[in-house]
Amino acid sequence: MSENKKIYLDNAATTATDQEVLQEMLPYFNEKFGNPMSVHSFGQEAMAAVDEAREKVANFFQCSPLEIIFTSGASESNNLSIKGSVRSFQLSHKDKDQKPHVITSSIEHHCVLDTCKSLEKDDLAEVTFLPVTEKGFINLGKLKEAIQPNTILISIMYVNNEVGTIQPIVEIGEFLQKLNQERLEQKLPKIFFHTDATQALNHLDCNIDKLGVDLLSFSGHKIYGPKGIGGLFIRKGTAIRRIQSGGDQEFKLRGGTHNVPGIVGVGAAIEKLSQDQNKSEKIIDLQNYLIERVLKEIPKSNLNGSRENLAPHIVNFRFDGVEGESLLLALDLEGIAVSTGSACAAGALDPSHVLLAMGLKHEQAHSSLRVSLGKNNTKEELDVFVEKLKKIIERLRRISGDVLKDFQ
């Protein structure tokens, strides 16, 4: 491949919209531009497109179209899941002095952590933030211990966006199904189960009944669809209330004019996931190749997280003696895009909360780099990346060593 070709290895941050997806979206910007809530033919044409997209999404999750609502993305879906559950408890519970209890993990996306922290700050809910192991997994035993009589929601992400660990979602779902039967007899509130599946859709089984979840958030731009669109699966019977006022769109749960081009795009993108059967196998091969080369050829390199229960597209490396931001910028000058963590935290000087929660020291967290693979990446690109990475790390370590000598 050409040395001058840019290489994109930040697919966990966003993906390029697939050309076929884009083509399906285009008519809804100008030719079929009606508002789905309008009664006339222009509006009904747009509503038909929304209904078709909802059907495609429901087919992927193997649920009813009535259980899918469209949002602006996973952040909004996560906010609605958590705040909407708390609001439902507040409005329906007789004892107004009893606050609902929410359980989540310490390595969730910021939109989940910040939502939970705001509920705590406003004295609207009690929240337990579960610790994780050094490999980045929650402990099921600690989750069970954290449950209280007033627990109403557990929110655990399916795949961590920074280190790629796959959490035991199925096991949590099975446990809660049994526990909720006991709680029903004890006249305790049902515990609903939410997962942020944003990083899981591309590669993992998202059959709703197999996972045992009541709420599942997803985003379009992580699955080769457009930005600004996502959705939320809400199992029938789940106690949730709207958190924003407005129109009666999305089964009266999410007011606001439908983003028809985006909805068509996310429907098309999610339909293509089922068609790309060999995508995950290819990316697993690329991931293994990358990990083996880096750990073998670069001294003092480490893998943050685990080789087991690791999503195929995310790898988080640590390079001792190298500052991650410097490494990222040097690679960018070479035309290679990677990340030091979540795209939503870009520009922040604080070390990754995920890596700190896993027990890394501040300097170790600052020495880390996330590489996330996509369906368009090739082995040749990884070869160029590794060779440039080796030279940059050697140079940065040499500079760092010279600076330290000057201070001695």
Active site residues: 344
CA 238 to chain centre: 22
Q: Which residue has the tokens 């890394």?
A: 360
Q: Name which of 362, 329, 363, 360 is nearest 346 in CA terms.
A: 329
Q: Which residue has the tokens 């004295």?
A: 123
Q: Which residue has the tokens 């997806």?
A: 21
Write out 233-287 in H/E/C secondary structure: EECCCCCCCCCCCCCCHHHHCCCCCCCHHHHHHHHHHHHHHHHCCCHHHHHHHHH
Alpha-carbon distance values, 331 to 8, 52, 162, 326, 378 (Å): 11, 42, 19, 9, 18
What's 222's DSSP letter? T
CA 24 to chain centre: 25
- Contact between 287 and 312 under an 8 Å Cβ cutoff? The reply is yes
Helix (H, G, I), strand (E, B) or coil at 115: helix
CA torsion sign for 385, 387, 390, 395 is negative
Counting Cα atoms < 13 Å in the Cβ hemisphere of 195 gives 26
What letter represents residue 160's amino acid? N
Token pair recorded at residue 169: 């979602």
Range list of H helices, 316-369: 324-333, 353-357, 362-365
Residue 401 CB coordination number (10 Å):
10
- Contact between 353 and 132 under an 8 Å Cβ cutoff? The reply is no
